[in-house]
Amino acid sequence: MTTLKQAIQFTDNGVEYSSFLTEVLDGLKRVPKTLPAKFLYDERGSELFEEITNLAEYYPTRTEIDILESVKNEIALLIGPEAALIEFGSGSSRKIQILLQSLKDLSVYVPIDISKEFLYASSLKLAHDYPTLHIHAVSGDYTAPMTLPDLNCRKKAAFFPGSTIGNFEPREAGAFLDTVAAMLEKGDGFLVGVDLKKESHILHSAYNDARGITAEFNLNLLRRMNRELGADFALDAYRHHAFYNEEKGRIEMHIISQKDQKVTIQSEEIVIQRGETIHTENSYKYEVEEFHNLASKSGFAARKFWTDQNRLFSLHYLELR
């Protein structure tokens, strides 16, 4: 009898400790200080982000889910039968389950996520709910070029939900689109969620929720550095700060130091002044045409896009030319 664990193939291209340390030290020595947003998503960070997606103020997840529910059959027709579905950032699998309702004859599902523990747990749950689904989970940094496992399929379709494309600088988003294009072949598809530009008060509420879950998510990065790198951040000496930068069309998330302090990481001393910030994440917002122009530079043609009635969020099916 095949167990769930036996039904899941697992490839580990995970982030090395040395890479985490190097990127943290490099970012904290810069002026202004920055840290890569990908490091927010350790196991605890991924759990906190799932909580964020259920908050009343956080519109992107529920809006994207509503769009997916309304167009899932249309998406299935665009992807077609016997496809490999590759998801960047496997999340809680809520959105993939919507697609699986329509993609009845999927060859293989390939979730790729930086959090190995969260990836494996979500893959086990999905295998339990869909016992005939072939799952090949890949642990790794999907922003870096990688070789996919051999996939026995007629066609590949990539899936990047949640407006995560907005976490990249526009130049980095272009590089990521190039990376995705390199994984695909002519005629393959890419289904991607994109948050749209809108009134700033809606954005402010989404990233400054009343319960403080987003703040905990942001500050969890300090806990992670203390735990994994032996840093000595004083956790009560920092606070979360998020705002919409209208000129750049992005939400910015920062950690603000509330006093002059010194932090030691692996014998390296970092001086942080009162009021100084560590820039942890951006979330760029796009107009539809703006995103299509960006995607076209990487060889993608926009086959179809959908929005909710309030035009808060958009979902795009791109095809590699």
Taking only the tens place, the pLDDT of each residue in 179-196 is 999 999 999 999 999 999
Question: Which pTM value belongs to this model?
Answer: 0.89
Contacts of 132 (CB under 8 A, 6+ apart): none
User: Is the CA virtual torsion 288, 291, 293, 298 positive or negative?
Assistant: negative
Q: For residues 243 and 258, what is the distance between their CA atoms, to the nearest angstrom?
A: 18
pLDDT at 38 over 50: yes
pLDDT at 208 over 50: yes
User: Is the CA virtual torsion 201, 204, 205, 210 positive or negative?
Assistant: negative
Q: Where are the domains of the chain?
A: 16-54+215-284, 58-199+286-320
Pick the CATH number of 58-199+286-320 from 3.40.50.2300, 3.40.50.1100, 2.60.120.10, 3.40.50.150: 3.40.50.150
pLDDT per residue over 77-98, tens digit each? 999 999 999 999 876 678 999 9
The pairing of strands 238-245 and 250-257 is antiparallel
**pLDDT at residue 133, as a whole number:** 92
Q: For residues 34 and 228, what is the distance between their CA atoms, to the nearest angstrom?
A: 18
pLDDT per residue over 253-274, tens digit each? 999 999 999 999 999 999 999 9
